[in-house]
């Protein structure tokens, strides 16, 4: 199914929605857990009903479609053409905030999660996008009580395609800065000097990778 097939009228979409739970409210809209055509889903609704907001929601929906799961991005189910409404896959698990609060003493587990998050950010970059809003509430940890957990990035409302007429490294640096914001959990992890040195070594490598443009981003589109 192509992206255009997922564009519908708001009335058609909302007729198939049953709201089950309010999830969150942000600067640009709110998110609710819903039933949609037999699936558990998230419905994102914009705060403002105007052409600019509708356009931004359509852009976010297209990015979700083109990412096709890269970075753990939720699958796009539907987007309205006449109202700021997006239906997408429900990413189950715990936010990184809640995961951190529940696992402060498990240093290895926290490090594994942060390395997983770094890989997800890299996946988004390799797909040709920057997330632009990587923080602890926009990261879902799947299977948070087990050992087979993974991470998923959500909320791509500020995401943008990599612009090859600008510095790719500079654009990716936005995600790195946000990623570093999430690393205040390292203050808990690094409570011993030896531990701090190990963490620093891991994340030096991570950040070098995050800010190194992959060949597909540089070979045909040199930065100017």
Complete DSSP assignment for 135-193: -GGGEEEESTTSSS-EEEE---TT-EE--TTS-HHHHHHHHHHHHHHHGGGHHHH--SH
pLDDT at 177: 60
Q: Which of 73, 93, 4, 75 is nearest to 39 (CA)?
A: 75
**pLDDT tens digits for range 1-24:** 899 999 999 999 999 999 999 998
CATH architecture, domain 3-89: 2-Layer Sandwich (3.30)
**187's tokens:** 């203050």
Tell me which residue of 53, 62, 57 sits closest to 44, measured CA to CA: 57
Q: What pLDDT, on the 0 to 100 scale, is given for residue 202?
A: 52
Encode pLDDT of 69-101 as tens digits: 999 999 999 999 999 999 999 999 999 888 888
Is residue 193's pLDDT more than 50? no
Q: How far apart are CA 205 and CA 118, in angstroms?
A: 10
Query: Regarding predicted confidence, which is higher, 41 or 1?
Result: 41
Q: Do 139 and 151 form a contact (C-beta atoms < 8 A)?
A: yes
| pTM attached to this predicted model | 0.77
CATH superfamily of 94-218: Transferase(Phosphotransferase) domain 1 (1.10.510.10)
Per-residue b or e along 40-59, where b marks 16 or more CB atoms closer than 10 Å to that residue's CB: ebbbbbbeeeeeebbebbbb
Where exactly does CATH 1.10.510.10 map onto the chain?
Answer: 94-218
Q: 31 — phi, psi (to 5°)?
A: -125, 135
179 neighbors 116 (Cβ within 8 angstroms): no
Average pLDDT of the residues in 124-145: 85
Which segments of the chain belong to CATH 3.30.200.20? 3-89
pLDDT (tens digit per residue) in 167-184: 565 666 666 666 655 554
Nearest to 88, CA basis, from 98, 75, 100, 101: 75
Q: Would you say 196 and 149 are in contact if contact means Cβ atoms under 8 Å apart?
A: no
- Contact yes or no for 113/71 (Cβ under 8 A): no
* Confidence label for 165 from pLDDT (cuts 50, 70 and 90): low
pLDDT in tens, 44-76: 999 888 999 999 999 999 999 999 999 999 999
pLDDT at site 196: 46
Say which range, 36-45, 57-66, 103-112, 115-124, has the weakest mean pLDDT.
103-112
């Amino acid at each position: 199914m192509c992206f255009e097939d997922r564009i519908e009228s708001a009335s058609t979409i909302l007729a198939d929605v049953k709201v089950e739970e309010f999830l969150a409210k942000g600067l640009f809209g709110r998110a609710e857990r819903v039933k949609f055509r037999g699936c558990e889903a998230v419905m994102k609704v914009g705060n403002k009903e105007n052409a600019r907001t509708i356009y931004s929601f359509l852009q976010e929906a297209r990015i979700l479609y083109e990412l096709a799961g890269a970075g753990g991005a939720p699958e796009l189910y539907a987007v309205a053409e006449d109202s700021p409404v997006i239906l997408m896959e429900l990413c189950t698990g715990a936010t990184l905030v809640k995961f951190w609060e529940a696992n402060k003493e498990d240093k290895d587990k926290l490090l594994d999660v942060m390395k997983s998050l770094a890989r997800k950010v890299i996946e988004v970059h390799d797909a040709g996008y920057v997330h632009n809003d990587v923080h602890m509430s926009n990261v879902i940890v799947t299977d948070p009580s087990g050992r087979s957990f993974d991470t998923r990035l959500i909320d791509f409302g500020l995401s943008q395609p990599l612009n090859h007429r600008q510095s790719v490294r500079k654009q990716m640096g936005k995600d790195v800065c946000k990623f570093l914001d999430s690393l205040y959990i390292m203050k808990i992890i690094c409570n011993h000097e030896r531990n701090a040195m190990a963490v620093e070594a891991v994340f030096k490598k991570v950040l070098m990778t995050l800010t190194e443009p992959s060949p597909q981003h540089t070979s045909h589109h040199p930065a100017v």
